[in-house]
């Protein structure tokens, strides 16, 4: 078990990750980070376009977006390695733009770890303390604590070149935390690791975040990573922020088609709004016919809209499901074009008679599930609830 | 042991190469122990070593000059070259690419041109030829070697360790002394040793910029040969070879030690 006296004594052990939003956690450390209208160009290329976000004290905040969308650029501006062309970056309400990197209470875990090759693991972690001429005894106990936090106590005397990727990453985390920054920036810290280790390190990072409670800004292009640990996510594309929200909001009600497609798989059908009854919207989708969607703020009839439904929300059967008493279920028929087995689930590409393809993901059955295997060319019945789909405005 | 087909051929090539490289040296070493003055073998003797160490005052004077120039010019070139490499690596400026390209020029320029141009330069500023001019000349041709070797070392490392250092609270100065310099040590050491060697053996450039009383070892050996080859040159060569081998081995071990640290 980990036990910490000096740095973490104030924070009671947290059994599991509490919701930090709304400040349920008692002892929030770290800083609020506010980014207002930041833009940055390289020559004629615009890497960031009027980016604004407010990151709250103690939040695990992810910047998610495809490669080249400007995540690293934004992180470097927060850390102080680059200056924005315009806009403001402030920590707890105070602008930091005029401070050099060494005077910002922000530390970074670099994408390639950037460990000092000439120093041992111990001295790498001790580096910030040595700069401040901390007495040796203090250095030993502090570095010891942080090496224990990242479970590297037994590797203290190794050189970085002798470590595995996961170990290097942990040294980088310990080194970035030892200064007790109020914000920790992590630039795709797991991208160099294999899938299994990545999962493991992600859980450890999350645990560390819980333990020390400072603000984490986590850059990734892996939506699974972002969804599983973040308090909130900012989805970016081409230098712009498209949506900011909790993982649930981002996944269940994406603001744009791009967000919907980037966060997990989707089926998206374009159509025209036919009629609106309360929150129930009927959309005429070319080929598929009338599709029902519930929408809190329904669009006007006649307007263009896209119906979006996640593949795992669609039920797939080999026999026509019993006629439902509910009126909010959409039914479609089709044939399986291609089943793709992926361990715990299977993804089916189902061709509707109109030629439209639908993606359906079915979790593999346990004993309570019955029914025959669904195979290639099988005739299948698809159904989903109007509640599980949503509408995106024409774009 | 694994037997590779065609081993006979590669072995032959290997021995031919080694023979080509080292046979002249072996002949030299053998003849340094020859008691006769001519090329015929007159029996084993240390007479030329005795002569070298006890009688040839001028050889040692020239050697002293060479050493002084080699160490001082290598030291100055190492300082300047290291700073230059760090500057080029660290700062991003507009003509960076051109600076790096220009640094290569002295390496490919014929020595005789460098010698002549330095001579013209010194004559132009009316500087008396002597140890000082040799020192300046050697520093100038050593500089690009050190510069490129340190630069090569720095290029091995990602620029992000410099950013990491700043990020962790180091000022620019602390970053220089705690990260950049320690990381470049192997490059600096090999740059310095290369500079010492180049300076010790340089003949052409030194020939142009030396003056009375500033004879270096290569110049002296050349002047000795003009009066016929004395076997003292053989014994001197063997002493130099032994010294070089010793220093090379030490340097190698030192670099290995640093690399492991
Ligand atoms: N120093 C620079 N000079 C010119 N262009 C740059 C520079 N740094 C970044 N860019 C450009 O800015 C864009 C955003 O880069 P950035 O590194 O922020 O992307 P990213 O979102 O971090 O991508 P990735 O996920 O691949 O790391 C890219 O198109 C990149 O080519
Ligand atoms: Mg990046």
Which residues have a Cβ under 8 Å from the Cβ of A82 and sit 6 or more positions away? Answer: A40, A73, A76
**Could B166 and A115 be called an inter-chain contact, meaning their C-beta atoms sit closer than 8 Å?**
no
DSSP alpha helices (H): ranges in chain A? 71-79, 121-131, 136-149, 165-177, 195-212, 223-229, 247-252, 257-262
Q: Which residues pair with A89 in a beta bridge?
A: A35
Residue of A nearest to B260 (CA): A159
Q: Between A80 and A370, whose confidence is greater?
A: A80
- Confidence tier at A372 by pLDDT (50, 70, 90): low
Which pLDDT score, from 0 to 100, does residue B146 have?
A: 92
- Selecting from A114, A131, A175 the residue whose C-beta is nearest the C-beta of B163 gives A114
Which pLDDT score, from 0 to 100, does residue A7 have?
A: 39
- Reading across the β-sheet that carries A345-352, which strands appear in turn? A315-317, A379-385, A329-342, A345-352, A357-363
Give chain B's mean pLDDT. Answer: 86
Lowest mean pLDDT among A10-24, A185-199, B74-88: A10-24
Give the number of the atom of ligand 1 that is nearest the alpha carbon of residue A43. 4
Q: Which residues pair with A349 in a beta bridge?
A: A338, A359
**Do the Cβ atoms of B149 and B191 come closer than 8 Å?**
yes
Please say if the pLDDT value at position A29 is more than 80.
no
- CATH number of the domain at A9-105+181-261, please? 3.40.50.300
**Could B167 and A102 be called an inter-chain contact, meaning their C-beta atoms sit closer than 8 Å?**
yes
Percentage of residues in chain B having pLDDT higher than 70: 96
B60 C-beta neighbours (distance < 10 Å), count: 14
Cα torsion A140, A145, A146, A150 to 10°: value is 130
Which pLDDT score, from 0 to 100, does residue A9 have?
A: 35
Which pLDDT score, from 0 to 100, does residue A394 have?
A: 54
Whether A79 contacts chain B with CB within 8 A: yes
DSSP B177: I
pLDDT tens by residue, B153-166: 888 888 889 999 99
Which pLDDT score, from 0 to 100, does residue B201 have?
A: 86
Q: Where in chain A is the domain with CATH 2.40.50.140?
A: 265-393
**Could B161 and A108 be called an inter-chain contact, meaning their C-beta atoms sit closer than 8 Å?**
no
Lowest mean pLDDT among A15-29, A144-158, A305-319, B194-208: A15-29
Give the number of the atom of ligand 1 that is nearest the alpha carbon of residue A65. 21
Residue A329 Cα to ligand 1 midpoint, Å, equals 45
Whether B259 contacts chain A with CB within 8 A: no
Whether B256 contacts chain A with CB within 8 A: no
Chain B partners within 8 Å of A106 (Cβ):
167
Which residues have a Cβ under 8 Å from the Cβ of A282 and sit 6 or more positions away? Answer: A273, A274, A275, A276, A290, A291, A292, A293
Helix (H) or strand (E) holding B104: helix B96-108
**Do the Cβ atoms of A157 and A135 come closer than 8 Å?**
no
Q: Please name which ligand lies nearest the alpha carbon of A64.
A: 1
Chain B partners within 8 Å of A161 (Cβ):
none
Which pLDDT score, from 0 to 100, does residue B221 have?
A: 86
Task: State the Cα–Cα distance between residues A70 and A226, nearest whole angstrom.
Answer: 16
Kindly list the structural domains of chain B, giving each domain's residue range(s) and its CATH number in brackets, ordered by start.
49-260 (1.10.3720.10)
Task: State the Cα–Cα distance between residues A3 and A153, nearest whole angstrom.
Answer: 13
**Quick one: A265-393 is in which CATH superfamily?**
Nucleic acid-binding proteins (2.40.50.140)
Residue A239 Cα to ligand 1 midpoint, Å, equals 9
Chain B partners within 8 Å of A72 (Cβ):
none
**Do the Cβ atoms of A350 and A357 come closer than 8 Å?**
yes
- Confidence tier at B120 by pLDDT (50, 70, 90): very high
Q: What is the ipTM of this complex?
A: 0.74
**Could A107 and B167 be called an inter-chain contact, meaning their C-beta atoms sit closer than 8 Å?**
yes
**Do the Cβ atoms of A268 and A316 come closer than 8 Å?**
no
Give chain A's mean pLDDT. Answer: 84
Whether B164 contacts chain A with CB within 8 A: yes
Which pLDDT score, from 0 to 100, does residue A112 have?
A: 86
Task: State the Cα–Cα distance between residues B203 and B180, nearest whole angstrom.
Answer: 35
A14 C-beta neighbours (distance < 10 Å), count: 15
Please say if the pLDDT value at position A71 is more than 60.
yes
Please say if the pLDDT value at position A2 is more than 70.
no
Chain A partners within 8 Å of B92 (Cβ):
none
Please say if the pLDDT value at position A395 is more than 50.
no
Q: Where in chain A is the domain with CATH 3.40.50.300?
A: 9-105+181-261
Distance from CA of A99 to the nearest CA of B (A): 11
Whether B174 contacts chain A with CB within 8 A: yes
**Could A175 and B165 be called an inter-chain contact, meaning their C-beta atoms sit closer than 8 Å?**
no
- Selecting from A102, A117, A175 the residue whose C-beta is nearest the C-beta of B171 gives A102
Whether A100 contacts chain B with CB within 8 A: yes
Give backbone dihedrals phi and psi of B122, rounded to 5 degrees, phi first. Answer: -65, -40
């Amino acid at each position: 078990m980990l036990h910490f006296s000096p740095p973490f004594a104030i924070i009671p052990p947290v059994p599991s990750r509490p919701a930090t939003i709304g400040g349920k956690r008692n002892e929030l450390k770290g800083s609020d980070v506010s980014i207002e209208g930041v833009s940055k160009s390289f020559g004629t290329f615009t890497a960031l376009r009027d980016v604004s976000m407010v990151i709250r004290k103690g939040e695990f905040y992810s910047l998610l977006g495809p490669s080249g969308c400007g995540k690293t650029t934004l992180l470097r501006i927060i850390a102080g390695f680059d200056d924005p062309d315009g806009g403001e970056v402030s920590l707890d309400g105070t602008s930091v733009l005029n401070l050099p990197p060494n005077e910002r209470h922000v530390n970074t875990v670099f994408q390639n770890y950037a460990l000092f090759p000439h120093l041992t693991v111990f001295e790498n972690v001790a580096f910030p303390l040595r700069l401040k001429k901390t007495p040796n005894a203090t250095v030993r106990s502090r570095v010891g604590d942080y090496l224990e936090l990242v479970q590297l106590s037994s590797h203290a005397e190794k050189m970085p070149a002798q470590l595995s990727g996961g170990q290097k990453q942990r040294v980088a985390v310990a080194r970035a935390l030892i200064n007790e920054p109020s914000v920790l920036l992590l630039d795709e810290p797991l991208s160099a690791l294999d899938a299994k280790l990545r999962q493991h390190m992600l859980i450890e990072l999350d645990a560390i975040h819980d333990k020390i409670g400072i603000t984490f800004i986590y850059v990734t292009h892996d939506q699974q990573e972002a969804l599983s640990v973040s308090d909130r996510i900012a989805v970016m594309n081409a230098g712009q922020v498209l949506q900011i929200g909790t993982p649930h909001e981002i996944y269940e009600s994406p603001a744009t088609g791009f967000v919907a497609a980037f966060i997990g798989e989707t089926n998206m059908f374009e159509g025209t709004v036919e009629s609106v009854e309360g929150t129930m919207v009927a959309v005429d989708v070319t080929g598929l016919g009338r599709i029902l969607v519930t929408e809190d703020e329904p669009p006007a009839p006649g307007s263009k809209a896209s119906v979006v439904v996640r593949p795992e929300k669609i039920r797939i059967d080999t026999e026509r499901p019993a006629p439902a008493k509910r009126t909010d279920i959409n039914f479609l028929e089709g044939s399986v074009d291609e089943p793709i087995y992926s361990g715990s689930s299977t993804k089916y590409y189902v061709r509707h008679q109109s030629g439209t393809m639908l993606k359906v993901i079915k979790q593999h059955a346990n004993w309570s599930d019955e029914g025959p295997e669904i195979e290639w060319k099988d005739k299948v019945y698809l159904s989903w609830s109007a509640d599980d789909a949503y509408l995106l405005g024409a774009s | 042991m694994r037997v590779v087909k065609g081993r006979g051929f590669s072995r032959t090539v290997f021995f031919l190469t080694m023979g080509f490289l080292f046979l002249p040296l072996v002949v030299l070493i053998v003849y340094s122990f020859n008691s006769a003055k001519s090329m015929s073998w007159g029996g084993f003797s240390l007479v030329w070593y005795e002569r070298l160490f006890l009688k040839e005052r001028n050889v040692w004077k020239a050697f002293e000059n060479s050493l002084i120039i080699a160490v001082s010019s290598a030291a100055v070139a190492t300082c300047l070259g290291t700073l230059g490499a760090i500057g080029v690596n660290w700062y991003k400026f507009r003509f960076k690419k051109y600076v790096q390209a220009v640094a290569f020029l002295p390496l490919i320029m014929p020595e005789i041109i460098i010698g002549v141009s330095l001579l013209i330069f010194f004559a132009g500023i009316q500087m008396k030829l002597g140890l000082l001019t040799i020192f300046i000349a050697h520093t100038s041709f050593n500089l690009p070697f050190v510069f490129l070797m340190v630069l090569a070392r720095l290029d091995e490392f990602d620029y992000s360790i410099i950013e990491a250092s700043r990020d962790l609270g180091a000022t620019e100065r602390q970053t220089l002394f705690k990260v950049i310099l320690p990381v470049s040590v192997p490059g600096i050491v090999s740059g310095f040793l290369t500079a010492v060697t180049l300076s010790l053996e340089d003949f052409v450039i030194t020939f142009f910029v030396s003056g009375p009383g500033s004879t270096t070892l290569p110049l002296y050996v050349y002047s000795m040969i003009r009066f016929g080859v004395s076997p003292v040159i053989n014994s001197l060569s063997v002493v130099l070879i032994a010294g070089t081998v010793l220093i090379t081995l030490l340097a190698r071990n030192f670099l290995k030690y640093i690399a492991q640290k």
